Amino acid sequence: MKQLEELKGKGFDYLKKITAVDYVEYLEVLYIIFNMSTKKEELVRVKLPAESPSIDSVMHVYSAADWYERELSEMFGIKILGREARRLLLEEWNGVDPPLRKSFVWGKDYKKME
């Protein structure tokens, strides 16, 4: 992502967090990055469609993005482009209604839906 590459070039050398928020109509991915020398923090927001959300990997910019991107994929159902899909948290998950999406229904027997 060009904006993160530019910020890294300006000294924002530490990736603190990547997470997402489900607003039902759309998803938003949040990148929190930090400049260790100036002690300043930046928030980069990327809006994605609720249906079939996908975003480019930023592993080439911040190698620490690995587990965060895997978490986005499993917990929010966001496809991370440019990287292999490997499980991190939900080894036996069938991919229906990711658990941090508002469409997820607690108590629903997802195992029987396969």
56-86, pLDDT tens digit by residue?
A: 999 999 999 999 999 998 889 899 999 877 7
Query: Facing residues of 15 across strands?
Result: 33
Q: Is the pLDDT of residue 13 over 90?
A: yes
Domain 2-113 = CATH 3.30.460.80: yes
Which of 26-30, 55-59, 61-65, 110-114 is least confident?
Answer: 110-114
pLDDT digits (tens, 9 = 90+) for 83-108: 877 766 666 665 567 888 888 777 66
Q: What are phi and psi of 14, to 5 degrees?
A: -130, 120
Beta bridge mates, 17: 32
- Confidence (pLDDT) at 83: 81
**DSSP SS3 for 90:** coil
Q: How far apart are CA 44 and CA 12, in angstroms?
A: 12
- Helix ranges (DSSP H) in 1-114: 2-9, 65-71
